[in-house]
Structure 1
Amino acid sequence: MQDLKGQAALVTGASRGLGRAFAETLGARGAEVIAVARTVGALEELDDAIRAAGGPQATLVPLDITDDPALERLGAAIHGRWGKLDLWIHAAVNDPPLAPAEHATDKDWDKAMAVNARATQRLIRSLDPLLRLAPAGGRAVFFDDRHNGGAFHGAYAASKAAARAITTAWAVETTRFPLTVLHLSPPPMPSGLRARFRPGEDRATLTPAREVAAEMMSEALGDSAARA
């Protein structure tokens, strides 16, 4: 279904899991996908999958989202090529090792905060003006983790809570503008993050990321597809 032709969609964390599933689905529907991840090979595989499904060639952006200058360049490049951003799917996440609160290392704590919280705010700073320029109103989509608390999840849960606070504030601040900020809660998926947090879990009972992306796509897009 080519109903998103001409729409620019940025997907962070696009190389695997839910990010890749959203990127593939958006590309197959005709969106011009801007795929951000650290691994070049995985991004190239994503592009191959999108084109095999009949979608346009993706724009591959291998970068670390904790690189502030790179995020500024990303925003400038999107503005230079498209002049706007219709959709941002933020699926990048860091999963620090499980540890008791008193044993969380400085390295693990700082990286979780840098990726899950600080980079989210830096991306908002770079992408907010572009989303406001989208003709139908830009949309930013964030994902809540239903099971990010409890014993040994302190660093992860704290960083995700900080990100939620930032994005919730942004959602309230932009209510008068043509910009929609969404928080979606996917069901448990057989992701690498979940496997790390719950080793030994029966993955057959979990919902594949492709199915989750397909089910959540209409909510992520709102009525933008109808106006494309």
Structure 2
Amino acid sequence: MTYPILITGASRGLGAALALKLAQKFHIIAVAKTTGGLEELDDRIQAIGGQATLAPTDVTDFNAVRHLCRSIHDRWGGLHLWAHCAIHAAPLSPANFIAARDWEKSIKLNITTTGMLIPNIAPLLGDTGTAVFFDDPCAGHKFFGSYGATKAAQISLAQSWQAETKNTGPNVKIITPAPMPTATRARFYPGENREVLKSCESEAERIIATLGVI
């Protein structure tokens, strides 16, 4: 039996592109808060003959994550790969004007939730599965205080897990995607020429080739 692939943050952008590409070979468990986005993804996956399980889930909800992981274990027994694409991209702001609400949401999703997902998903990956995190090296750049600081903390946590599992598994990968014309980037860089950016589909293909999972 081939284990499925879990993608958190699968409803759009790189997460959706990875799901669509990986669905050519694997069953996809697509997780996101936006049901509409997941349903659109499912239509695209079915159109290429793939299969997906949609899991509209707030990944910041500990009980919901535990239920999801237990359901994965009961149905499939494990995971082949977990790609963590969920992120809160707070609006750009000078550090001394960061809104408390944006700061709290950034910490909750980008740091606290990652720290909760890892111990819940790790048993499903075992010693042969792969976990993938996506870096965005904007920490320390002006106006990126909330997003940059919490994204850097997320990657630091992933790096620790990577070092700890080097000889035991699972295989933890940290990848820096090329700039893509996502909705998140459009908020950060309004007016940017999006035609020169790499498409999410081409980046997904490059990343999957790097991972060697297809």
TM-score where L is the length of structure 1: 0.90
1:109 match: secondary structure: helix
> Do the aligned partners of 1:132 and 1:177 also contact (CA within 8 Å) in 2?
no
* Corresponding pairs, count: 214
Letter of the 2:44 counterpart: A
Matched, 1:35 2:30: yes
1:36 match: secondary structure: strand
> Do the aligned partners of 1:87 and 1:140 also contact (CA within 8 Å) in 2?
yes
Match of 2:177 in 1: 186
Tell me the distance in 2 between the aligned counterparts of 1:148 and 1:31.
Answer: 34
Letter of the 1:80 counterpart: D
Aligned counterpart in structure 1 of residue 86 of structure 2, from 84, 88, 92? 92
Match of 2:58 in 1: 64
Match of 1:153 in 2: 144
2:136 match: secondary structure: coil
Tell me the distance in 1 between the aligned counterparts of 2:75 and 2:119.
Answer: 19
Moved over 3 A (4+): 146-149
Aligned counterpart in structure 2 of residue 79 of structure 1, from 67, 73, 88? 73
Tell me the distance in 2 between the aligned counterparts of 1:163 and 1:147.
Answer: 13
Tell me the distance in 1 between the aligned counterparts of 2:191 and 2:38.
Answer: 29
Match of 2:103 in 1: 109
Change (3 A) 1:149 1:197: farther
Note the 1:108-187 alignment, pairs <5 A: 108-132=102-126, 137-187=128-178
Tell me the distance in 1 between the aligned counterparts of 2:62 and 2:3.
Answer: 25
Could you tell me the percent identity over the aligned residues? 44
Mean Cα deviation higher: 141-150 or 101-110: 141-150
Match of 2:22 in 1: 26
1:89 match: secondary structure: strand
1:60 match: secondary structure: strand
> Do the aligned partners of 1:88 and 1:141 also contact (CA within 8 Å) in 2?
yes
1:175-225: per-residue Cα shift (whole Å, max 9, x none)? Answer: 2223100001111100111100111101111111001001111222x3x44
Letter of the 1:9 counterpart: I
* Unmatched runs of 5 consecutive residues or more in structure 2: none
> Do the aligned partners of 1:20 and 1:46 also contact (CA within 8 Å) in 2?
yes
